[in-house]
Structure 1
Amino acid sequence: MTTEDTLRDTRIPLSDGSGALPAVGFGTLIPDPVATGLATKAALQVGFRHLDCAERYGNEDAVGNAMQEVFGHGAIRRQDLFVTTKLWNTNHRPERIAPAFEASLRRLRLDYIDCYLIHTPFAFQPGDEFHPTDGQGRVIYDSGVTLLETWQGLERLVDEGRCRAIGLSDITLEKLREIVAVARIKPAVVQVESHPYLPEWDLLDYCRAHGIVLQAFAPLGHAMEPKVIDDPVITAIARRVGRTPAQVALAWAVQRGTAFLTTSTSPRHIRENFEIAALPEDALREIRDGVTTRNRFNAVVETGVPGFIPRAGSN
C-alpha cells in the first residue's frame, strides 16, 4: 500500500527522459492577479511542486513574481519545480510560436519551461484578440495552419533547449492518435478534463501504451451539478476512510496512474487538495464500478473555447 507521503509526492517519469511530472499539481486559472500570487505562494508552501500556467490565463506575470518571491526565501529552488505553460489558439502558426513562448518565459521570469502544451487543437485567426469573432459573434478559426505544423513548431523549441517536454491539452483520442503517428518528438503529457464522471479510460489506456502522462484538469468536476464530491459512492468511501470526498477523488486520480490539477484561492482547500492519502484497493474498485454518472462539464474539447456546458445531470 502506498503511504500518504509517497502518494502526494508521486512523480511520473516522462518517457522522453526530460524529467518527472509531479502527479499532484496546482492550476493557476485565477482571474485576479493579487489572488493568483497569494494562491501560488500558498500552494508552494504546502508542498505543491507543479504549477500549471497558460498564456490565455492572463496572469503569468503574477505567477512569475510569486515564484521569484518564494525562491528568494531559499527553501525552494527553481529546479525543485515543474512548470507548465501553454500556447494559445491565436499563435498556432509556426512563425508565432517562438515569440509566444519567449513572452511566456519573460512573464514567468524563467530561463526554461519544463513542459509546453498546445492549449487546444483548434487554431484561431492570428492576432491580439484571444477570441477573434465575426459579426455574429462566432469564433474565426484559422484554416491556414494544421495541428501537425503547430506541433512541429513545438518540436523545434525542444531542439533549442529551453523547453524540456511538449504535449497537448483539450484533445480527443482521435486527434492524439494523428499526432503520435507522425510526430518526431512524441507528446510527453496530455491534459484533459477527467474525473470519476469522465474517467476517459480509453484515452488513459492509449496514453499508457505510448508512454504519455494523462493529466486531469477539473478532477473534482468544476464543482458543477451533478457534483462529483456529492456522489454517494465517493461520500461513503470518504466516511469509511476518514477523508473528505475531494481527497478521495484526488487519491483515485493518482492511484489509477494519472496526474491532476486543482485550483483554489482558499488556503484550507489548497492544503486539503495536497494532503491526500492512498485508498484501499476495494475503494478503487468501488469508484470504477459503482460510479455510473457520466458527464463532461467543459465544452473546450468541442470548440477550442473554454466554457462550461449549460446543462446539469448525467448524459
Structure 2
Amino acid sequence: MSYESFYDDLRDTRFALNHGAVEMPAVGFGTLFRDLSVTTQAVKDALDAGFRHFDCAERYRNEDSVGVAIKETLEGGKIRREDLFITTKLWNTNHRPERVQPAFEASCRRLQVDYIDCYLIHTPFAFQPGDNQDPRDEQGNVIYDSGVTLIETWRALERLVDEGRCRSIGLSDVTLPALQAIVAEARIKPAVVQVESHPYLPEWELLEFCKQHGIIVLAFAPLGHGMEPNVLEDEVITWIARRVQKTPAQVALAWAVQRGVAFLTTSATPSHIRENFDISTLPHRAMLEIKEEITTRIRFNSVVETGVPGFIPRKK
C-alpha cells in the first residue's frame, strides 16, 4: 500500500494559547547554536524558509544576534512583527522576583522588540542570583538558591502579563508533578510547556494533562538531537518515510504536530532548515505505528533533574 505525497497545510498549523489572543505556530525554530557566529544568518534563512516562531533564551547568549536578523527582516517590509511568535526564557540565576522584570527588559532590548509573545521560566531550578550564569562551589557543584520558590517566580511572570509587554507565560524543562503544582496555584495558567519530546520520549501523560488545561506542549530535540540510539534511524520511522516519500526527520516532525505538539528544530544549514519546515500530514496508520510499535524510551537531556542543560552522550 503506497501513499501519494501531497501538499497540505500541516506546516501552517497554529495552536491557540489559553490566555492572550495569541496563536503559536506549531513549527518553530530554536536558536541555541554551538557556534554563536552563525545565529543571524541562520535566523534569516529560517525566516526565508517560512518559519515564524523563534525560540530564544538569555542563557544562549545570542539574543542580540537574533535581534539583528529580526530587525533587518522587519525593516525589509515583507514580514510584520505580528506575523512572528517570539519566545525567550528567564535564566535560573534570575528567579528572585525582583530580578524577573530587569531580565525580561534586557531580553527585549537585545531582541529589539517591544513585546515578547511567550516568556518561559527556563528551568524550575533557582541558581545563586548574580551575573555568573553557572555558579559553582569549589567542588564544581552548582550553587542553588533556596531563598525563592517556583511559585514566587511565577507570580513575577504573571505581573509581566498584567503590564502588557508579555503576551503569555510558561515553563520549560519541567516534570509533570512540578507543572501540576504550578497549575493548581497559578492565577494565570501556563500557556506553554517546553520539554524534550520525540518518538523515544513521547510524554503522553504530560501531553494529556496539558490538553486538559489548554496548555501547549512545545518539544525540543524532536529528532533526538542526533544522539544514540538515533531516532531517525528507527526502523518504524524509516519505513514510514519510504512509504510516504518524506525524510525520517519530516516524519518525526509531522508526528509531533499531528498529535498536538509544537516543535523546535535548530540548524545552520539552509537545506536542513527548509527540510524541517516542509512537513506533510501522515496517514492515520503511520501515526498508530509510531505510537504502538516504537517501544524504545530514552531521555537525552538531564536538565529536568538538575537545571543544568546538557545532552548525555551514550554509547551504542
Could you say which TM-score interval applies, normalised by the shorter chain?
A: over 0.9
Matched, 1:193 2:196: yes
1:199-226: per-residue Cα shift (whole Å, max 9, x none)?
A: 0000000000000000100000011000
2:105 aligns to what SS in structure 1? helix
Describe the superposition over 1:105-154 as per-residue Cα deviations: whole angstroms up to 9, x where unpaired. 00000000000000000000001111100000000000000000000000
- Residue aligned with 1:202, SS: helix
Q: Deviations over 1:87-112 (max 9, x none)?
A: 00000000000000000000000000
Q: 1:24 aligns with which of 16, 22, 27?
A: 27
Question: How big is the alpha-carbon RMSD for the aligned residues of Structure 1 and Structure 2?
Answer: 1.3
Q: 1:131-142 counterparts in 2 under 5 A?
A: 131-142=134-145
Alignment partners' CA distance in 2, 1:58 and 1:31: 11
For 1:154-233, list aligned pairs within 5 A.
154-233=157-236
**Do residues 288 (structure 1) and 301 (structure 2) align?**
no
Tell me which moved more, 2-11 or 186-195. Answer: 2-11
Identify the residue that residue 92 of structure 1 maps to in structure 2: 95
1:50 aligned residue: 53
Letter in 2 for 1:94: P
- For 1:104, the equivalent position in structure 2 comes to 107
- For the residue of structure 2 that corresponds to 1:195, the secondary structure is coil
Could you say which residue in structure 1 is the equivalent of 2:240?
Answer: 237
Q: Deviations over 1:57-91 (max 9, x none)?
A: 00000000000111121111111000000000000
TM-score, normalising length from structure 2? 0.97
The offset of 1:236, in angstroms, is: 0.2
Structure 1 regions of 5+ residues with no counterpart? none
Cα distance, 1:3 vs structure 2: 6.9
The amino acid of 2:223's aligned partner reads: L
Residue aligning to 1:268: 271
* Structure 2: stretches of 5+ with no match in the other structure: none
For 1:160 and 1:9, how far apart are their aligned partners in 2? 30
Q: Percent identity?
A: 71
Whole-angstrom CA distance in 1 between matches of 2:20 and 2:162: 14
Contact 1:31 1:59 in 2 (8 A): no
Deviation at 1:250, TM superposition (A): 0.2
Q: Answer yes or no: is the 8 Å Cα contact 2:87–2:116 preserved in 1.
A: yes
Task: State the TM-score, normalized to the length of structure 1.
Answer: 0.97
Runs of 4+ in 1 over 4 A off after TM superposition: none
Q: Residue 3 and residue 182 in structure 1: after superposition, are their counterparts in 2 closer, same or farther (change >3 A)?
A: farther
Give the structure 2 partner of residue 256 of structure 1.
Answer: 259
CA contact (8 A) 2:237 2:252 kept: yes
- Asked whether the 8 Å contact 2:20–2:167 carries over to 1, the reply is no
The corresponding residue for 1:119 is 122
Mapped contact 1:193–1:216 kept (Cα < 8 A): yes
When residues 286 and 220 of structure 1 are mapped into structure 2, their CA distance, relative to the original with a 3 A threshold, is same
Q: Hey, what's the Cα distance between the residues in 2 that align with 1:123 and 1:210?
A: 25
> Which of residues 61, 66, 86 is equivalent to 1:63?
66
Q: Distance in 2 between matches of 1:110 and 1:57?
A: 17
Residue type at the aligned position of 2:19:
D
Q: Secondary structure at the match of 2:9?
A: helix
Q: 1:311, CA displacement in angstroms? A: 2.6
Kept in 1, the 8 Å contact 2:91–2:123? The answer is: yes
Q: In the alignment, does 2:75 pair up with 1:72? A: yes
Q: How many residues align?
A: 313
TM-superposed CA distance for 1:18, in Å, is 3.2
Verify the 8 A CA contact 1:122 1:304 in the aligned structure 2: yes
